[in-house]
């Protein structure tokens, strides 16, 4: 798994928002790349397994992917309108999650945190 995996990774690196498999597939086809939808799905899950892309689920259950610049644990601030995404750190949140878990006797704590809003460009000069 290499040729197309890199192609998919490249698409994601060029994008600053989360993208769906179908979305990526359509873009690649529209610029003449000959690739199958199945391969896009496989590339995405390989990239995710390797920790090279982040994935999250939209409200309607679609998986969307992003090649994040940061290799370490972080979260996302996503514009509801244009999808633009900023990677953010939240040391306080990390500590809070651990603490709240411990407080109730839970171990091996993990968490998911996403922040949504409307970015400056999209809320715009009214």
Asked if 61 is part of the footprint of its own copies (rule: CB under 8 A), the reply reads yes
The reply to whether 112 sits near its own copies by the rule CB under 8 A is: yes
- Say which DSSP state 84 is in: B
Strands 54-57 and 19-20: unpaired
120 near Zn ion, rule: CB under 5 A: no
Token couple for 57? 């689920």
Per-residue binding letters, 82-101, with its own copies (x by CB under 8 A) = ----x-x-x-xx--xx--xx
Q: Which of 1, 82, 89, 115 binds Zn ion (CB under 5 A)?
A: 82
What is the distance between the alpha carbons of residues 68 and 74, in angstroms, rounded to a whole number? 9
Q: Which residue has the tokens 């411990």?
A: 102
Is residue 21 at the binding interface for DNA, with CB under 7 A as the rule?
yes
């Amino acid at each position: 798994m290499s040729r197309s995996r890199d192609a998919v990774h490249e698409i994601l690196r060029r994008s600053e928002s989360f993208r769906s498999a179908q979305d990526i597939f359509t873009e690649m086809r529209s610029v003449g790349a000959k690739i199958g939808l199945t391969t896009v799905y496989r590339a995405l899950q390989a990239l995710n397994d390797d920790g090279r892309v982040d994935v999250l689920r939209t409200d309607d259950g679609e998986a969307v992917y992003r090649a994040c610049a940061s290799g370490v644990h972080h979260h996302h601030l996503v514009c509801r309108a244009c999808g633009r995404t900023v990677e953010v750190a939240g040391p306080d949140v990390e500590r809070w999650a651990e603490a709240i878990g411990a407080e109730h006797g839970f171990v091996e704590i993990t968490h998911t945190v996403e922040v949504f809003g409307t970015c400056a460009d999209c809320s715009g000069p009214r």
